[in-house]
């Protein structure tokens, strides 16, 4: 497949913070799934730019470790808040905690928390696809609507950005629950961009291509991570994968006042990959797997996540 063989020459990776120092001084940002991976990079970049940051997920121990590292590395405020997106009552309580710790409702919400794994669709139980939809679609609706209601009551403007995926529109085999859920998130983004702009709220989304993080891609690739890099980069026209710092720079730019006119946009950020592959970036080789290979992959992924197999 045609791709750039010298990406370091033409498409260099720049990990430094792009926006001017102090861009978010006086602002408060909430990042769901902020303890690891893309969420951690996004939260760190907001903190570097002067924002007071709250990071939220279910695993408080991971959050507290990350929050401490962000405070140490940036000198900014970063608070850990336990949040279960699937439970609207717990979501409301978590937002209360954010307001108590940071003094007010955030100016920026980043919907980054997600759940996904590759699997042949005929092997999925209702519990399996229900869990993904509960976290990705219902969870995003839970936090976004609760956050939005608070902003509307307080007559406070805000920017909301959701992390989506390329196959939310194109569709993709072997990740059907995620595709269904992310399609709903994109519809929510465009719908609320028109309904709630009158209250001073704007909504956008980013659909990134392959940006490997161990937590997410451990559920999406059955091989070793070094093999993933070599296998997938040849499917990206620019010849390399993305980096968390790159999406963090894009996220902060979109949520800054430099981009206050951007509303209802779904921005594709994939090095041009989708225009070659038109679908999932997990690899066409998945079509060749037999039931034994899927069984081995299921066991491997369950082992990585520490979850035993439930009845179908």
Helices (H) and strands (E) in the chain, counts: 13, 7
Q: Residue 65, Cβ neighbours under 10 Å: how many? A: 14
Residue 129 appears among annotated catalytic residues = no
Residue pair 76/47 in contact (Cβ under 8 Å)? The answer is yes
- Angle in degrees, 0-180, between the axes of helices 37-48 and 244-254, rounded to the nearest 10: 50
The answer to whether residues 19 and 256 touch, using CB atoms and an 8 Å cutoff, is yes
User: Could you give the CA distance from residue 23 to residue 20 in angstroms, rounded to a whole number?
Assistant: 6
Choose among 130, 307, 304, 308: nearest CA to 219.
Answer: 304
Are 53 and 66 within 8 A, CB to CB? Answer: no
> Burial level of 272, CB count in 10 A (0-12/13-18/19+)?
middle
Q: Are strands 108-111 and 28-32 parallel, antiparallel or unpaired?
A: parallel
Report which DSSP code applies to 233: H
SS3 content of the chain, % helix, strand, coil (to 5): 50, 10, 40
Q: Please report, to the nearest 10 degrees, the dihedral formed by the alpha carbons of residues 219, 221, 226, 227 taken in order.
A: 170
In angstroms, the CA 178 to CA 57 distance is 19
**How far is the C-alpha of 66 from the C-alpha of 108, rounded, in Å?**
19
Catalytic residues: 167
């Amino acid at each position: 497949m045609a791709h750039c063989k010298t990406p370091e020459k033409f498409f260099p990776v720049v990990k430094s913070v792009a926006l001017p120092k102090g861009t978010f001084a006086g602002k408060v940002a909430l990042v769901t799934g902020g303890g690891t991976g893309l969420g951690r990079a996004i939260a760190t970049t907001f903190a570097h730019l002067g924002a007071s940051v709250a990071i939220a997920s279910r695993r408080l121990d991971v959050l507290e470790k990350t929050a401490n590292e962000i405070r140490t590395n940036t000198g900014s405020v970063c608070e850990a808040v336990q949040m279960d997106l699937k439970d609207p009552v717990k979501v409301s309580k978590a937002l209360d905690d954010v307001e108590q710790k940071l003094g007010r409702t955030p100016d920026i919400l980043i919907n980054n928390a997600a759940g996904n794994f590759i699997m042949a669709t005929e092997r999925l139980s209702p519990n399996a696809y229900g869990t993904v939809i509960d976290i990705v679609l219902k969870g995003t609706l839970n936090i976004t609507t609760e956050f939005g209601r608070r902003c509307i009551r307080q007559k406070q403007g805000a920017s909301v950005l959701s992390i989506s995926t390329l196959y939310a529109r194109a569709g993709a085999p072997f990740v059907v629950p995620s595709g269904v859920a992310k399609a709903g998130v994109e519809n929510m983004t465009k719908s609320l961009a028109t309904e709630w702009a009158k209250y001073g709220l704007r909504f956008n989304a980013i659909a990134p291509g392959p940006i490997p993080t161990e937590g997410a891609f451990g559920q999406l690739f059955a091989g070793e991570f070094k093999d993933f890099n070599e296998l997938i980069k040849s499917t990206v026209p620019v010849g390399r994968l993305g980096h968390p710092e790159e999406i963090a720079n894009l996220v902060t730019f979109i949520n800054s006042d430099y981009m206050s006119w951007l509303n209802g946009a779904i921005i594709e950020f994939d090095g041009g990959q989708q225009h070659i592959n038109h679908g999932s970036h997990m690899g066409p080789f998945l079509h060749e797997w037999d039931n034994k290979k899927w069984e081995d992959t299921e066991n491997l992924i369950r082992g990585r996540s520490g979850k035993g197999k439930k009845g179908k």
